[in-house]
Structure 1
């Protein structure tokens, strides 16, 4: 996966060969990760959840690296809460999780889709290695209960279980009013009393906030998701054990990172921020239908950001693409068409769908945005943006773009790129683009944003 060198096979090989070199000297296309930006994003969210007194579960699917997990969980918190999309990610993280446990940290990792039977054996094997309480799963169908019970038999301890609630995104889960479909809650609590599962709480993941355009909307989406889970608890309160503490776990990066607006309010809060703060405190400090509740937020792509994330404007203090997005794809300019060959000037890049992905973004009609550092110094209007306008399998077309309704008036301006030049492209969706590569070339913009300082290997497969 990614650009390979015939004699280099491991991350250590790549470190020896490429650390110290400029990103223009890498085999192209290449995936670049700025660890200074990633560290800043991870720290700001950790600071926010600590300030608000809530728990946080970091999703690792965006980067799938050991080093990235270290940044997401920080160095000081006793609890390490993670969620992964594939069992392969959890297997890959095992050495790091062992290290955390040996250092006295409490590890809990959640397999992030309703449990399929084929993954029970692998999860149980990991559980036996990591120890009791380390593995959690989610369910939304009664047939999954037998798989969870089988986990307990193989691992010699019960898995933590979240009930998956659908609060409007409609990818997985049951609606609040239908949570007890086929007596699911009743059967779940029976297994909990028998010690075959350990019921943790309710889990919702709603990416409706990906279509947001303001911080107010992102905060409102988080509040709605919280309210949906509280509604599910209220409608089914008679079915749960009253002595249980119920965790409410909600999230998606735009709405979760919107809590930073509550921290950086500079003495004043928007009305939406006040409403969200009141709902957060309600979950943290009050009892609901006789239950003690605690709040857990979860998010993943916040750690790197991408064009889609910035388009939501979920935080009032977002900078531009070059300031905020921690990953980029480098690619070479194959040709430039500035002399009337086409209806408008364009350039050809040596990267396409297989190096960028094909995830759309509501803010504009393209598949990636070119870093301004690539523009010629004498470009007349530096506020214009070059975008990846069309994509083929291994190639793409760059032209001037219309972003958030701005920028189409100068579409005939020459493309300020040169044949053979290496450009950096900020992708629409960091999770998808990252999955197309086997490793990241690491740079550090706090020192030198174009010199490779490390290579991080990614988990891959299923």
Structure 2
């Protein structure tokens, strides 16, 4: 049966070179600025090098092969990833096949193992080779299913034990890491040859509630200490013939580490300051902790993991995890392109408002603590004046959003019917789920960020046969 859906290449041929305002560019649409993404990715690569830690890139925010490649440090001997669904892993298989020719690769299925997914994971493992697939374990009843992976691949699956350091979504607290003999069962599975323990993994989104860089960094310190405590408690049940990995992170707390790995430009500016910044106690704690694991006698390596950092959104910006943040227009790579339906500037309502054709489905109903709305309008097409008092999506329904001033603003809304606006969403991961692909612009090449330079298809649906999944890199 022939699919009626366009392929990724068809989309590029049709849309590349068009402008976002063109009539045949559908709205609402998801738009990515790859210039911003490029800067964020380079900053992360530099930071983990300066700090001397490993890095694992999450792909769940964007679910695209192209952006995943931008997250890879081409100078590194490793390329490690996390995915929240099997389809995300299948989407980036062509990239992983290329990368494995020049470095070690490993992709972690990032939730506690679902037994029904073992066969699909094993089939990917057969394609990519030994040590390419990791799973997350936090219950002894998950262990028997790991043998099925070995039966299909004839090599062991890599395992992280999931530690709960306070977020309480998944995992075991450090004191209970050997729940019902979990560690003994993993050790026995290692002896039988169908498991290879990599280390401990913790993910704490508590840092999403942070309001300052030191606060976000404090969550990172707490995570590392929690995993360190778990290792120390259970050393007698863990392998001693290899380095073990402590993998910690979430975008706010990981990007807070930028503050102890300044760029050359930031260092130069700091040296000119008459009042040099003093390191917070959290920054000192983090540096001291990381130094412990750099000791040659340590058999533990620290790995940071993060996913939203290349794209960002209103929720990420609200944490202020990265000191010296710029304008929203310079920091948030994802926006939703929407059209103005109507304007209410003539006293019809208590305050001036406008209606846009983008609602819950296009923006997602995800709150943000820093303001009472569902998206913030970019100054794109409106001028920098709107940055002084931001327009927000004040109310929302399934297909429509109502725009108003976020704080006391002008008496009128500076929009007109048929105008196109860009809206910064609260949560990029959830907003992106509505769209089959992203229109990609590049503000380094086009300061107006209006010309489409590429189209990136998202891995979406429940199976690799999804018509949007095209292996462009084969």
TM-score, normalisation: structure 2: 0.91
Q: Which runs of 5+ in 1 are unaligned?
A: 1-5, 402-406
Q: Which runs of 5+ in 2 are unaligned?
A: 272-277, 463-474
Q: Secondary structure at the match of 2:100?
A: helix
Residue 10 in 1 paired to residue 7 in 2? Answer: yes
C-alpha distance in 1 between matches for 2:256 and 2:430 = 23
Shift of 1:100: 1.0
Superposed, 1:15-414 pairs within 5 Å as 15-25=12-22, 26-102=25-101, 104-264=102-262, 266=270, 269-285=279-295, 292-375=299-382, 382-401=387-406, 407=407, 409-410=408-409, 413-414=411-412
C-alpha distance in 2 between matches for 1:124 and 1:58 = 21
C-alpha distance in 2 between matches for 1:59 and 1:118 = 22
Shift of 1:376: 6.4
Shift of 1:226: 0.4
C-alpha distance in 2 between matches for 1:48 and 1:376 = 34
1:417 equivalent in structure 2: 415
Deviations 1:133-176 (A, max 9, x none): 10000000011001112111111111100000000001100111
Asked whether the 8 Å contact 1:442–1:453 carries over to 2, the reply is yes
Deviations 1:175-210 (A, max 9, x none): 111111101111111211222100000000000000
C-alpha distance in 2 between matches for 1:108 and 1:376 = 45
Shift of 1:273: 1.3
Q: Secondary structure at the match of 1:257?
A: helix
C-alpha distance in 1 between matches for 2:74 and 2:57 = 14
RMSD: 1.7
Question: Cα 1:376–1:229, aligned 2, differ >3 Å: closer, same or farther?
Answer: closer
Paired residue total: 444
Shift of 1:8: 6.5
1:450 equivalent in structure 2: 450
Question: Cα 1:218–1:286, aligned 2, differ >3 Å: closer, same or farther?
Answer: farther
Question: Cα 1:90–1:7, aligned 2, differ >3 Å: closer, same or farther?
Answer: closer
* More displaced stretch, 119-128 vs 189-198: 189-198
Asked whether the 8 Å contact 1:328–1:424 carries over to 2, the reply is yes
